[in-house]
Structure 1
Amino acid sequence: MFAAAGALSGTPLAPRPACRGALGRNDRAPRVPSKTARLLVRPLKAVEEPRRSETSAEDVPADLETVCADPVCSTRLVVNGQDLPAFEDVSTAHFRIRNGVVRTPLVRSRQLSAVTEMNIFLKHEWQQATGSFKERGARNSLLALTDEQRKKGVVAASAGNHALALAYHGAELGIPVTVLMPSIAPLTKITKCRALGANVILEGDSIADAALAAQAYVRDEGMKYINGFDDFNIIAGAGSVGLEILEDAENIDAIVVPVGGGGLIAGVALAVKTINPNVQIIGVEPSRCASMAAAMEAGEVVKVTMPGPTLADGLAVPAVGPRSFEVLRTRVDKLVTVSEKDISVALLRLVELEKLIQEGAGAAGIAAVLAGKLPELKGKNVAVLLCGGNIDTSTLGNVLERGLVNDERLIRFSCVVPDRPGGIAGLCATIAFVGASIKQINHERAWLQDDSHSVQVTVTCELTGPQMADHLYEALAEKYPVDFTRPKGNLSGERAAALNRNGQSPAAPPAPAAPAKAGQLPAPKLYDYDTIVNNVKPSRALVEAVEDAFAQLANGKVDVPMPMHIGVAETAAAGPGDCHIKGGYIEGAPTWTVKLANVSFYKNVEKGLPAGSGVFVVCDAANGGPKAILHENRYLTDLRTGAAGAVAVKHLAAKRAKSVAFIGTGVIAESMARSTATVFGFEEAFAYSRDVSKAQTFCDKMSEELGYPFAACGSAEDAVRAADVVFTQTPGGEWVLEESWLRPHALIVCSGSDQPTKNEIPPNVLKKAKVVTDITAQCARVGEVRSAIAAGVMTAEDVHAELGQIVSGKVKGRKGKELIVCDLTGTGAQDAAIGSYVMDVLD
């Protein structure tokens, strides 16, 4: 747990801890009473590895690979152009790294053995110093370098555990390590790699982009590229896991191994099958990225398309390594896949039964066992690899909660009760009688139009499991019309039939609509603020939805009318405030959206109320009827504004931008920071607000949440001068920066001017800069462009492009070192995109 906790914290990792069952530097490894094992595991040659110069990469062009000219290499088995490691290479690696990595314990799990009816042994690879098995291959690869290669250093492309492992062992061995990370890399891992002394460079939007950029370091600086899962020595080092399992336990029948790029299972299979061919090697992949299964079926490496992200992000490799594939193809006995639900339940079980925190990839093997994917192993001795424990704390909380839902220990239902004194109390008494615990309860009167004497109540309860859920439903159904939300696939056929007989839906939304009368469209469903906030978070998927909306807008596939603005003048009875009405439809989408956003009601703050509010009305594109009312109180507006800012940074910021400034530190600034963090990695941030305490609160909150330092500045000038990217999101009444403060390559993303009376950026800045808008016609009417046009320094024709034109590739964005202003006034296309996205999430 020590290593995992250090890996989560973002701080430099402490020296590797001693763990129970692990060996110290001078300890001897325990051996099973097997002459064969003792003979084969002993190093077969000197520790000095034959000098190799192969170079492999994740999507690195083939011309980066070189042929080993060493005479020893000529004896290697070469299949389909790949020289494959042999058992001797695994044995040598095992001996070579023995004093540099933790010999992790193999421990029998009494609880999991009882649950699965197998004899389960857990291999605790998360106890390595950086929290994963990757250290074995990384150290082996570094120790195999020639003296000349050690001096020049190594380069790798990684967004996760491979980068941490190389950085850690590079620092221990005095070997320079350069890691190219894509913009999607978690900020905590960027920070940790740098803290370990690695030279971290952010390059591109994917691992493939980062790997391609490694060409320059291999060709120009002579560095050795170390692929995270397909390097010769990576596979050999990973194989030491298999040797330790055979040494530490007798009569193992099967070893269950998570599969990503294939290096771990290839090494384990090579080692284990050589010693004991009767041990089954079983691979586990996430169902959303079963690339090894696809390769086995095709007989060659193929690239799979992922339908969406997976909790097991460490296994999300669309194409397995060709060398790993060739090693594994004749040695694997079975490949199975696990769903997102299986993984979340496994993470929950490991926390509850074993008191262990694993990342999604680390729990994949247990997920397969618990989900009943391996019934043939009942009664047998099964070793399961827990390969990594690096999971973000917020992600862990969300996953565990979903695990409780999938376990039917957290359930939500709605029912209709009499609107009279004691009505809700009677409902609570029924829940208490069953033994359930109420976690949240809400009630609404307005949405039951046909019954003015009843109230609709939505309840979230904590239960002991499906049996209590059934009892709760039966108790409630006797008294009230009740509608349960239960995980898909958890209802038995009998229970589903019973629900359907009562006219209820097994997977109903939190606030069901009243049934439609003949000849009428169904009434819309209401989703309250809490439901939306709890289920819709800033994410890369949300940013991509908004990004696609911009592209469709540029392609003429979006119908977006000009926004309507209603100004509410300040009187004794009203205001001041503003109302914006926007909407749009993206061609081919199942829904279209109209949004009512009320903003700048600043007197509300004096009453303890928010200054903004709003609703989304999502309509069915097939029949035009309102499908849902999202009572989001500007939460979704803030999210989609932040997503638009992230899209702007992704396509317009300088590639090596490292610092960002926020002028204005309210909810829009938070949304910009969170959304941008999903697609671009900054190293430091600066913030300014007229209220110093608000700026400091913002910085403290964002530093902790995003994993890189935020500093509050005493002036806007100090913040802007230090930044490569500047976000401005103030009420827009006056200029917030000056031209002389800006760096020559700065990107300014301004979102405060959303009506004709607002202006944040001096016109001379727009005159000097390349100007990009979300919608030029709209910005010329209400945005920063309007102010520059009014000042006579530019016309609408001077706008370089709309953001959608750059996203879709119709117009090139940045060209080298140039000042860019992106004027965001908000578009109905964004609202339409987020409306559809939210409906997908909530449904």
Structure 2
Amino acid sequence: MRLESSARPLAVPPLPVTLADVEGARAIVSAAVMRTPTLHAPRLSQLTGADVWVKFENFQVTASFKERGAVVKLARLSADEARRGVVAMSAGNHAQAVAYHGTRLGISTTIVMPETTPQVKVLATEGFGARVVLYGEGVGEAAEEAARIAASEGRIFVHPYDDPDVIAGQGSVALEMIEDGPAFDTILVPVGGGGLISGVALAVKGHSPATEVVGVEAALYPAMWSLRTGQPRECGGPTLAEGIAVRNVGSLTSTIVAQLVDRIELVEESALERAVNALLILQKTVTEGAGAAGLAAILTDPDRYRGRRVGLVLSGANIDPRVLAGIMMRELEREHRIVSFRLTILDRPGMLGRISTLLGRLGANILEVHHRRTFLDVPAKGTRLDLTVETRDQAHADLIHKALEAEGLPVQRLGAGGADW
């Protein structure tokens, strides 16, 4: 005999934003924001074993999805609010979105950005017409300064994620993916404060409830993961995904995520680097660390997604060019296509020529050469030679290493950053 429980089911709090709100914001977004494509990615599919589709939000004017929520919020300001102007705090993408659409709508914009914000994002925000104030080490301190400016100047504060209009606007990303793409098994969404994934979850669960909605956070900033799992983890540290480097998630967004998001996953910095590089090399598209978080999740746990039809929200492309160049070089080193060797040789004419001839015969392209004669562990008549060469792969690098040793040259393989390999 089955015993029925007398306990009442736990009450589910009403959602602060609904599918109707997302659909109601659609007209504002459609009138002012690009409908970006959702395209199949065969080479990423081959790399991961999943059937990968990409939503290219990096095609927006400001290279980020943030335009969607910002324009809904700004378009719904009263005449008096628009006259007073707005203030926002952001590490970059929300800043540019508010600046661009504020200028377009004739609304004065002040943006408070952390002092650590990449210069490329600061200059872009100023270029869209905003007054930029650099303040504090992170978005928390920047938010406090933005609140002070709002109070002293009478400006309207435009929150980057914990605002019903902003959340509703971001949901248009998923409405377009559902209309333009296949029936997805899973949609992977970068998570910072939770505005994007909240809007996406409302749209997806409203129209395609069988589709998983999975959030992805940088492992250094697991704020939503900690809230969701009840396992507190410290937030902090330099991350490639500064666009989602948030210590505190929103109250509205956390409510929506708790009810509609299937799970939150964490990705390490190395996976983010690999994903940024893969999108550039294989997909021929530029993304910032946060934008690559979805692909990083697949690369971290490929078995979970193998054979599944997966949609990636490529949320933005505002990456410092120097950082992007560094990522590419680091990935070439990881793939053993750029390799460094350290040799201790006799300091006499012809030695360098002998080595370069050998390397040329083996098909290695010399990129850098450094002579170091002053180290005390080098013989007085010797020199330390550091060589960086371009190779085909690890097997080719190993062949070169053995050939140098066969010539009687003491050789040491160096890894990325000059550490012993």
Instruction: Determine the C-alpha separation between the residues in 1 that align with 2:361 and 2:259.
Output: 58
2:239 alignment counterpart:
310
Q: CA offset at residue 440 of structure 1?
A: 0.8
1:13-52 alignment, distance < 5 Å: none
Change (3 A) 1:195 1:450: closer
> Which of the residues 180, 183, 201 maps onto 1:269?
201
Cα pair 1:157 1:163 within 8 Å, conserved:
yes
Cα pair 1:341 1:406 within 8 Å, conserved:
no
Comparing 406-415 and 212-221, the one that deviates more = 212-221
1:217-256 alignment, distance < 5 Å: 217-219=149-151, 222-256=154-188
> Which of the residues 292, 295, 318 maps onto 1:390?
318
2:393 alignment counterpart:
465
Cα pair 1:303 1:319 within 8 Å, conserved:
no
Find out whether 1:508 has 2:398 as its counterpart.
no
Cα pair 2:15 2:255 within 8 Å, conserved:
no
Find out whether 1:328 has 2:223 as its counterpart.
no
2:210 alignment counterpart:
278
Cα pair 1:90 1:271 within 8 Å, conserved:
yes
Q: CA offset at residue 85 of structure 1?
A: 0.7
Change (3 A) 1:377 1:189: closer
1:402 alignment counterpart:
330
Cα pair 2:243 2:289 within 8 Å, conserved:
yes
The answer for unaligned runs of 5 or more in structure 2 is 1-10
2:284 alignment counterpart:
355
Instruction: Determine the C-alpha separation between the residues in 1 that align with 2:294 and 2:395.
Output: 27
Instruction: Determine the C-alpha separation between the residues in 1 that align with 2:369 and 2:157.
Output: 56
Find out whether 1:116 has 2:48 as its counterpart.
yes
CA offsets 1:307-356 (integer angstroms, 9 cap, x no match): x3111111111222222122112332333333322222222222222221
Q: Which aligned runs of 4 or more in structure 1 are off by greater than 6 angstroms? A: none
CA offsets 1:355-401 (integer angstroms, 9 cap, x no match): 212222222222333x3423221122111111111122223222322
Cα pair 1:170 1:177 within 8 Å, conserved:
yes
What TM-score does the superposition give when structure 1 sets the normalisation length?
0.46
2:272 alignment counterpart:
343
Q: CA offset at residue 272 of structure 1?
A: 0.6
Change (3 A) 1:449 1:222: closer
The DSSP-based 3-state class of the residue aligned with 1:148 is helix
Name the count of aligned residue pairs. 410
1:171 alignment counterpart:
103
Q: CA offset at residue 188 of structure 1?
A: 4.2
Say which structure is richer in helix.
Answer: 2
CA offsets 1:677-736 (integer angstroms, 9 cap, x no match): xxxxxxxxxxxxxxxxxxxxxxxxxxxxxxxxxxxxxxxxxxxxxxxxxxxxxxxxxxxx
Instruction: Determine the C-alpha separation between the residues in 2 that align with 1:114 and 1:183.
Output: 40
Instruction: Determine the C-alpha separation between the residues in 1 that align with 2:360 and 2:267.
Output: 36
Cα pair 1:287 1:337 within 8 Å, conserved:
yes
Cα pair 2:91 2:113 within 8 Å, conserved:
yes
Cα pair 1:336 1:373 within 8 Å, conserved:
no
Aligned partner of 1:508: which letter?
D
Aligned partner of 1:246: which letter?
I
Q: CA offset at residue 442 of structure 1?
A: 2.0
Instruction: Determine the C-alpha separation between the residues in 1 that align with 2:79 and 2:15.
Output: 23
Cα pair 1:158 1:179 within 8 Å, conserved:
yes
Find out whether 1:158 has 2:86 as its counterpart.
no
Identical pairs, percent: 37
The DSSP-based 3-state class of the residue aligned with 2:341 is strand
The DSSP-based 3-state class of the residue aligned with 2:259 is coil
Instruction: Determine the C-alpha separation between the residues in 1 that align with 2:127 and 2:345.
Output: 58
Change (3 A) 1:442 1:99: same
CA offsets 1:393-448 (integer angstroms, 9 cap, x no match): 22322232222222322221212334454433333344334322110112334436
1:406-805 alignment, distance < 5 Å: 406-447=334-375, 449=377, 451-452=379-380, 454-479=382-407, 480-487=409-416, 507-508=419-420
Instruction: Determine the C-alpha separation between the residues in 2 that align with 1:457 and 1:191.
Output: 42
CA offsets 1:480-524 (integer angstroms, 9 cap, x no match): 332112259xxxxxxxxxxxxxxxxx9429xxxxxxxxxxxxxxx
> Which of the residues 7, 10, 16 maps onto 1:84?
16
The DSSP-based 3-state class of the residue aligned with 1:84 is coil
The DSSP-based 3-state class of the residue aligned with 2:276 is helix
Instruction: Determine the C-alpha separation between the residues in 2 that align with 1:459 and 1:346.
Output: 29
Cα pair 1:171 1:196 within 8 Å, conserved:
yes
The answer for unaligned runs of 5 or more in structure 1 is 1-76, 489-505, 510-843
Cα pair 1:179 1:199 within 8 Å, conserved:
yes
User: 1 or 2 for the larger relative contact order (CA 8 Å, sep ≥6)?
Assistant: 2
Cα pair 1:270 1:328 within 8 Å, conserved:
no
